[in-house]
Amino acid sequence: MPRFETKAACLRFQPYGYTGESFARLVAATVPISFGIHALAYARGVRFDVSRGLLTFPLYDASDLERIMRRRQGDMKMRIEVKKGLVRMVAVLGAATLGLSVAACGNANTADSSNSSTPTVSFMLDWTPNTNHIGLYAAQKLGYFKDAGVNVKILPTAQAGAETSVENGVANVGFTTLSNVAAFNSQGSDLKFVFDLTQKPVARWCALASRTDIKTPADLSGKTFVSFGSAEQNAVVREMIKDAGGTGEFKTATAGTNTFETLTSGKGDFGGFYVTWEGVESELNGPALNCFVASDWGVPGNPDQLGFAVKGSWLKDSANADALKKFLSATKKGYDYALSNPDKAADILVAQAKEAQLDSKLTRTSMEEIVKNGYWTTDDAKSLPGTVNFDDAQPYLDFQYKAGTYQDKDGKNPKQAPQAKELATNDYVD
């Protein structure tokens, strides 16, 4: 019975004799439900090479690997044990022969240069690659990082999330929201928001257009909200309903792998979507949605300040601060390129993140939506991709604080609302 122990960055699993279609069937049987959708599997860092019959799992922490494989396929059985922080994979083999190897996670998005004098910045995504991340991929493909003198490694998100991974030093920079930074820091984390991509609200709260009984947020009273259990989202929905004249009361249901499917199946009545991605997907492929914008219904400020965060103590090192400036300068250039060349940038994203199997038409149309409606810029051009708009940030943080969203380690409300100017900075953006 072969055993394998490692603390390394990646585990590779290759059952000999399985390639092509047989390998695809093996993956379907071995990868658990939480990884059953390819996009989710990719978001969690699982890599599939069907032609070679190879799976690669990033070992960000023991819990990630522990969840990966607990299924049987014919005469092969695997189980995961975690002891004293050490990951142990135990394989019980019948006719199949199992190959296990450990290596650095192969990543097509890793900078080519190995010059030790050039700083390296690791960046963790928050989800499957999409147009929110397009500036990173454009900067890498077009050589902006190289020109700026920085190597960049783009990492798939971990089970723990980008925020925890940055806090624990797994990644230097992570994609998140300013409100998430406020929530984490309220519990003692040391995160700093350093790049704000979205300058206008992109979240939408939607029911199927076929639901003629839902015309305003007031009609959401007593309905079932399909969510991920977010106190922040609940506060937004509650305020919208009250502002529209409803009771503010609603039920919740946990979102599955696809909110569209949860709504069409009748398990929920409304959910949250990003207009620049799921909204576009709805327009292209259905189902049609009837959506509401939080800022139209009593929610102050910009709820959707999506961008990058680093660990504050990491930033205190002058070498790290210099590397971050180079990284953000090149990244901003990548987003500027995407705004000026939306179709070309979309094609770069599809090609560079090919394992995510992005739909070219969806990606192009998403960029068209972003450019057309100026989600990454303000009308007066005072805030551009990368710049934190503190005037929009603080009212929303105050709103969430009053709603009791931010709590300390003891589950109590902090003495005051998180302060945007303490959580975020524009000092590292050109």
Check whether residue 190 and residue 234 sit in a common domain.
Answer: no
Confidence of residue 257 (pLDDT cuts 50, 70, 90): low
Check whether residue 281 and residue 163 sit in a common domain.
Answer: no
Q: How many domains does the chain have?
A: 3
Query: Could you read off the pLDDT of 91-118 as tens digits, one per residue?
Result: 332 323 333 333 444 443 433 344 568 9
Q: Select from 267, 296, 325 the last residue of a domain.
A: 296
Residues with Cβ within 8 Å of 93's Cβ and at least 6 positions away in sequence, in order, are 1, 2, 75, 76
DSSP string, 279-310: HHHHHHH---EEEE-GGGTT--S-S--EEEEE
Residues spanned by the domain of 388: 120-199+304-360+367-409+417-423
Check whether residue 98 and residue 7 sit in a common domain.
Answer: yes
Instruction: Tell me which H or E stretch contains 395.
Output: helix 390-402
Q: Tell me how far CA of residue 380 lies from CA of 374, 377, 386, in angstroms.
A: 11, 8, 15
Q: Which residue intervals of 286-389 are DSSP H helices?
A: 312-315, 318-340, 342-352, 360-373
Selected residue with higher pLDDT from 159 and 125 = 125
Given a cut of 50, is residue 292 above it in pLDDT?
Answer: yes
Q: Strand (E) positions, 75-178?
A: 76-83, 86-92, 97-103, 120-124, 151-155, 173-177
In a domain, 112, yes or no: no
In a domain, 239, yes or no: yes
Check whether residue 253 and residue 314 sit in a common domain.
Answer: no
Query: Could you read off the pLDDT of 184-229 as tens digits, one per residue?
Result: 999 999 999 999 999 999 999 999 999 999 999 999 999 999 987 7
In the block, tokens 């551009």 appear at 384
Check whether residue 83 and residue 7 sit in a common domain.
Answer: yes
What number is the average pLDDT over the span 222-248?
95
Identify the CATH number of the domain in which residue 126 sits.
3.40.190.10
In a domain, 212, yes or no: yes
Q: Select from 103, 136, 170 the last residue of a domain.
A: 103
Check whether residue 397 and residue 310 sit in a common domain.
Answer: yes
Distance CA 95, CA 74 (A): 9
Q: Tell me how far CA of residue 80 lies from CA of 14, 102, 239, in angstroms.
A: 16, 16, 44
Examine residue 287 and say whether the peptide bond preceding it is cis (omega within 30 degrees of 0).
yes
Percentage of the chain lying above the pLDDT 70 cut: 72
Check whether residue 148 and residue 274 sit in a common domain.
Answer: no
Check whether residue 258 and residue 388 sit in a common domain.
Answer: no
Check whether residue 99 and residue 134 sit in a common domain.
Answer: no
Under 8 Å between Cβ of 6 and 81 = no
Given a cut of 90, is residue 402 above it in pLDDT?
Answer: yes
Listed range (224-228, 315-319, 377-381) with the worst mean pLDDT:
377-381
Percentage of the chain lying above the pLDDT 90 cut: 64
In a domain, 256, yes or no: yes
Cβ atoms < 10 Å from Cβ of 408: 12
* Dihedral of alpha carbons 151, 158, 12, 354, sign: negative
Check whether residue 217 and residue 331 sit in a common domain.
Answer: no
Given a cut of 80, is residue 78 above it in pLDDT?
Answer: no
In a domain, 51, yes or no: yes
- The pLDDT assigned to 382 comes to 58
Q: What burial class does residue 341 get, using C-beta atoms within 10 Å of its C-beta: 0-12 exposed, 13-18 middle, 19+ buried?
A: middle
Check whether residue 95 and residue 152 sit in a common domain.
Answer: no
Query: Could you read off the pLDDT of 25-38 as tens digits, one per residue?
Result: 444 444 333 333 33
What number is the average pLDDT over the span 162-166?
93
φ, ψ at 200 (rounded to 5°): -135, 155
Q: Tell me how far CA of residue 213 lies from CA of 76, 207, 262, 296, 298, in angstroms.
A: 51, 10, 18, 20, 22
Check whether residue 62 and residue 37 sit in a common domain.
Answer: yes
- The pLDDT assigned to 385 comes to 83
Q: Select from 249, 279, 296 the last residue of a domain.
A: 296
In a domain, 396, yes or no: yes
In a domain, 195, yes or no: yes
Given a cut of 70, is residue 271 above it in pLDDT?
Answer: yes
φ, ψ at 351 (rounded to 5°): -75, -40
In the block, tokens 């959506």 appear at 291
Query: Could you read off the pLDDT of 40-60 as tens digits, one per residue?
Result: 444 444 444 444 444 454 544
- SS3 (DSSP) at 133: helix
Selected residue with higher pLDDT from 95 and 273 = 273
In a domain, 110, yes or no: no
